[in-house]
A and B are shown apart, each in its own frame.
Chain A
Amino acid sequence: MDVNHIFFTNSGLPEWPLFKTVFLRYLKVAKMFRFYKTTSLASMLGLLFSGTTAFCQNSYVPQFKKSSLYAGIEVGSKGVKMTILEVAKNEQTTGTFNTVKDTSVNTDFISFTDKNFMNTVDAFAGLYVYAKKVYEIIPANIFTVISSGVVGQAEKDGKQSMVQALADSFRMLIKEPNRTVSLIDVTEEARLSHLGIVPANKRYVTFLIDIGSGNTKGGYFPNGNTKDLKLFQLSWGTKSVANGTEKRMTDDNSLANFKKQLYRVLEGTPDTEITYAVNVSGAYNMSDNIAFSGGIAWSVATLIHPEMIDNPVVPVTYDEVEKFSQRLYENYPAYNAAVIVSKLEDKSVNATAIATEVKRVQKVFDQKSLMAGTGLLLKIMRQFEGVYEKKQFYLVKNGQVGWISAYVDQNIRQ
């Protein structure tokens, strides 16, 4: 698909509003590039982004004697994520890296509105500029991709042209017409996530499931190699469960009704789909560990075990998550940052950092979204909670850096 196809209708007339807005943005960003020379990038990005983001000055201290910086920028369903990695030069073959920065801008691209499209283009270009200017990463070391969730949803809604327009607008804004913006397919994304998240000693006994906002995907390596991934997919994610529940609520917006409708939603199509997908995957017999990543995994891990703030992975039991789910409904104030901090038994932990992280969780997920996400998480966990064989459940908090680190590692090796 070329640019003409995007900006011009079948009748040959240009889709003027979209063309105009992209062109105006181009001018604006081009102007900002010049403006950048006289002002700080942080303030420029403040102007550039209309979404929620938090940037700080580049306080990067190299962890390795000889290393290079790489960045991965991904347009996902909820927004644009950027991960900056420091990769040791002499260790490149073993993939030793240090996560320097991990940030995101919420733009809700998959709603496919013009406003969200423009916000996504801005964020995509803005993060690219940020990596290039603030961290001085050379363009060859910046990988730009569009996730499978976006591509899948665009196909469902017939909005493929928007995805292509996004890539083209991005290239135009950053003045790199030949830049590769890869569309990652779901299997490749799941494979890379597994490689990036799960340590080598657990690689062939761990089933990784990424609960996204619009879908759930994951898999495991059944044949003892990292090429063949047994894919697991659900068309439900945290947001789609919450949306499905909201749709059923009619006039009664009470929490009690939300809980009732959530139960009905989860007992419907998701239940059938989860049971089928887990059975078909054969993961129950092949895996000792079931690891969950995604926003809801991060939130639940942070709220259940705040003491483990420094751990990127938190082991949990089915009972713990079930109790958490109940408490979310019955006593939500118990998960207030101040309450959590006051109940910390280990006084050596960093209470301020915990409070900040809990507040971050509550910014991303409100009570209802947490209930919806936890409900879906429990539904999947239930499939692995056997009487005769107990699986170890893990909640992965930094799942977003997973696939990009593996992607960078893979590209460096090539």
Chain B
Amino acid sequence: MKDSKISLLVLASLAMLLLAFVVLFVWGFSFYKQSIKQTMPATIVVKDSSSITSDIRDSLQKVYTSAINQLYAQLDSTQINSNAVAADMDQKLKEFYGLRDEINVLLQKNPSTTNLASAKIKISELQQRLDEWRNRYADVSAENKRLSELLKKMADPKANEGLNTSPDGSNPVIVNTEISKTAVDGITVTDMQVKAVMQLEDKEKETIEALQTDLLRISLNVRTNQSSSIGEELFVVLLQPDGKLMKQSDWETGIFQTKQGRKMYSYKLRFDTEAGQTKKMGFSMPAIRYQKGNYSMQVYHNGVLVAKMNKKLS
């Protein structure tokens, strides 16, 4: 009897111990589960690399679309107001469409990481151009106004005398167009050229590659139609593709006054001429590194733009 009591007690203790283990196990399990919940995100979405790429592409597409929209808006207003500078516009448009097509190709076909990276670069380039356009818009508008008035004036045959013509009819664009006759009278700029040259051991060779370019050689012909002139000055503004002024040296650059305000020039050409005599002038513009893109050159006389042209280096 006594033995059976003892064994009952042992059994009860064992049962209690087992229960304690079970309770401990349940508590431990629930604690573990909770801690997992805290450390892990609520949902884990496994994405493949192509969908990531697609997301990036979408965001780039958005940036691109907004840039395009802005550019279209800018273009519309610019085109309406600047029909007279269509040649320049066409070129800009060509570049713009080219850039847009390149981006489209990059985004639509095989959107690899490399393509997306280059698309990103091109979009930022597009945006940069947009900024440049915005900055130039004011100039273009003013110029357009002037050119419109010139068109009116061209109806008068007497007014045609001062108009310069480009040798090849396209580029350079010579714009001796100021309404004020005194400001431009007499000055005719022709044969304006910007040559990118690479210097070999004993000779120079023309190139269109920015990487190969050692210096830019600029040349132009100037003729005064009036009486002989002494100490005339032509101010040349040469802008890099990034819009910054190119300088030959600290001693050649300076500031001059235009109708639009003060401007810095890259080089000043000084000359004396006899009436009707054509003078050939030139200078070179060295740089440590030439950028790819469009170089814009403007020539001013007495504060008036008399000629301009672009040079593209690829």
Given known contacts A199-B249, A315-B254, is B231 in contact with A346 (CB within 8 Å)?
no
> Given that A307-B264, A308-B264 are contacting pairs, would A388 and B230 also be in contact in the complex, using a CB cutoff of 8 Å?
yes
B250 to A307, Cβ gap below 8 A?
A: no
Within 8 A of B (CB), among A7-34: none
Q: In the complex, which residues of chain B have a beta carbon less than 8 angstroms from the beta carbon of A307?
A: 255, 262, 264
Interface centre among A312, A315, A388, A389 (most CB of B within 10 A): A315
Q: How many residues of B contact A (CB 8 A)?
A: 13
Cβ-based interface call for A390 (8 A):
yes
CB-CB under 8 A from B230, the residues of chain A are 388-390
CB-CB < 8 A to A345: which residues of B? Answer: 261-262
Question: In the complex the two chains form, is B251's CB within 8 Å of A390's CB?
Answer: no
A372 at the binding interface (Cβ < 8 Å): no
A326 close to B (CB within 8 Å): no
List residues 300-351 of chain A with CB under 8 A from any CB of chain B: 305, 307-308, 311-315, 345-346
Q: Which of A280-315 contact B (CB under 8 A)?
A: 305, 307-308, 311-315
B-facing mask of A90-116, CB < 8 A → 1, else 0? Answer: 000000000000000000000000000
Q: Are A311 and B231 within 8 A (Cβ)?
A: no
Listed residue (B230, B254, B270) with the most chain A CB atoms within 10 angstroms of its CB? B254
Q: Which of B208-261 contact A (CB under 8 A)?
A: 230-231, 249-251, 253-255, 261
Which of A311, A346, A389 contacts B253 (CB under 8 A)? A311
The yes or no answer to A236 lying at the interface (CB within 8 A) is no
* Closest Cβ–Cβ distance, residue A12 to chain B (whole Å): 58
Alpha-carbon gap, A308 to B262, bound state (A): 12
Of residues 383 through 411 on chain A, the ones whose CB sits less than 8 Å from some CB of chain B are 388-390, 392, 394
In the complex, whether A382 has a CB less than 8 A from a CB of chain B is no
Cβ B251 vs Cβ A394 within 8 A: yes
In the bound complex, residues from chain B placing their C-beta under 8 Å from that of A388 are: 230
Q: Evaluate contact between B249 and A314: CB separation under 8 angstroms.
A: no
How many angstroms from the CA of A311 to the CA of B252 in the assembled complex? 10
State in angstroms the CA–CA spacing of A390 and B233 once bound together.
11
Instruction: Name the residue among B250, B251, B253, B255 with the largest chain A CB count within 10 angstroms.
Output: B251
Given contact pairs A315-B268, A390-B231, a sample of 7 additional A-B residue pairs in the complex whose CB atoms are under 8 Å apart: A199-B249, A199-B251, A308-B253, A308-B254, A308-B255, A345-B261, A389-B230
Write the residues of chain A forming the contact surface with B, with a CB cutoff of 8 angstroms. Answer: 199, 202, 305, 307-308, 311-315, 345-346, 388-390, 392, 394
Residue of A with least CB distance to B260 = A345
**B interface, over-half SS:** strand
A394: B residues at CB distance < 8 A = 251
Chain A residues with Cβ below 8 Å from B262 are 307, 345-346
Is the Cβ of A313 less than 8 Å from the Cβ of B250?
Answer: yes
Can you list 21 pairs linking A and B with CB atoms under 8 Å apart?
A199-B249, A202-B251, A305-B255, A307-B264, A308-B254, A308-B255, A308-B264, A311-B250, A311-B253, A312-B250, A313-B251, A315-B253, A315-B268, A345-B261, A345-B262, A346-B262, A388-B230, A389-B230, A390-B231, A392-B270, A394-B251
* Minimum C-beta distance from B240 to chain A (A): 13
Q: In the complex, what residues of B have CB within 8 A of residue A314's CB?
A: 254
Chain A residues with CB below 8 A from B261, complex form: 345
Give the distance in Å from the alpha carbon of A388 to the alpha carbon of B231 in the complex: 8
Nearest CB of B to A288, in Å: 9
What is the minimal beta-carbon distance from B170 to any residue of chain A, in angstroms?
A: 31
Which has the most chain B C-beta neighbours within 10 Å: A199, A305, A307, A311? A311
Encode B72-105 as 1/0 by CB contact (under 8 A) with A. 0000000000000000000000000000000000
A314 and B254 alpha carbons, distance in the complex (Å): 6
Residues of B within 8 A of A312 (CB): 250
* Nearest opposing residue in chain B for A345, CB measure: B261
Question: B231 near A389 (CB under 8 angstroms)?
Answer: yes
Complex interface: chain B residues within 8 A of A315 (CB): 251, 253-254, 268
Q: How far is the CA of A345 from the CA of B263 in the complex (A)?
A: 9
CA–CA, A314 to B264, complex, Å?
Answer: 11
A240 to B170, CA, bound (A): 61
Report the minimal beta-carbon distance from A128 to chain B, rounded to whole angstroms.
31
**What CA separation (Å) do A388 and B250 show in the bound complex?**
27
CB distance from A312 to the nearest CB of B (A): 6
Please give, as numbers and ranges, the residues of chain B lying within 8 Å of A392 by CB-CB distance.
270
**Which residue in chain A gives the minimum CB-CB distance to B257?**
A320
Instruction: State the 9 A-B residue pairs at the shortest beta-carbon distance, nearest first.
Output: A390-B231, A315-B254, A345-B261, A313-B250, A311-B250, A305-B255, A313-B251, A345-B262, A312-B250
The residue on B at minimum CB distance from A390 is: B231
For residue B257, give the distance in angstroms from its CB to the closest CB of chain A. Answer: 10
Taken together as a complex, chains A and B put the C-alpha atoms of A307 and B245 apart, in Å, by 13
CA distance A313 to B268 in the complex (A): 15
- Across the interface, name the chain B residue whose C-beta is closest to A343: B262
Nearest chain B CB to A320 CB, angstrom units: 9
Residues of chain B with a CB closer than 8 A to A311's CB? 250, 253
CA distance A83 to B249 in the complex (A): 23
Assembled-state Cα–Cα distance A202/B262 (Å): 26
CB distance from B29 to the nearest CB of A (A): 63
Residues in chain B near residue A308, CB distance under 8 A: 253-255, 264
B79 to chain A, nearest CB (A): 26
Interface centre among B231, B250, B264, B270, by most A CB within 10 Å?
B250
Minimal beta-carbon separation of A302 from chain B (angstroms): 13
Taking the nearest CB of chain B, how far is it from the CB of A206, in angstroms?
9
Smallest beta-carbon distance A75→chain B, Å? 29
B260 CB to closest chain A CB, in angstroms? Answer: 9
- Which residue of chain A lies nearest to B230 when distances are taken between CB atoms in the complex? A388
- Chain B nearest Cβ from A116, distance in angstroms: 35
Q: How far is the CA of A315 from the CA of B233 in the complex (A)?
A: 13
Those of B9-59 within 8 Å (CB) of chain A: none
A314 to B253, CA, bound (A): 8
Q: Which residues of A contact B268 (CB under 8 A)?
A: 315
- The closest CB in chain A to the CB of B255 belongs to A305
Cα A151 to Cα B311 in complex, Å, equals 57
List the A side residues contacting B250 at CB < 8 Å.
311-313
| Residue of A with least CB distance to B249 | A199
Residues of B close to A313: CB separation below 8 A = 250-251
Smallest distance from the beta carbon of B36 to chain A beta carbons, Å? 53
Q: How far is the CA of A380 from the CA of B268 in the complex (A)?
A: 24
Q: What residue in chain B is nearest A314 (Cβ atoms)?
A: B254
Which residue in chain B gives the minimum CB-CB distance to A316? B254
Which residues of A sit under 8 angstroms from B253, Cβ to Cβ? 308, 311, 315
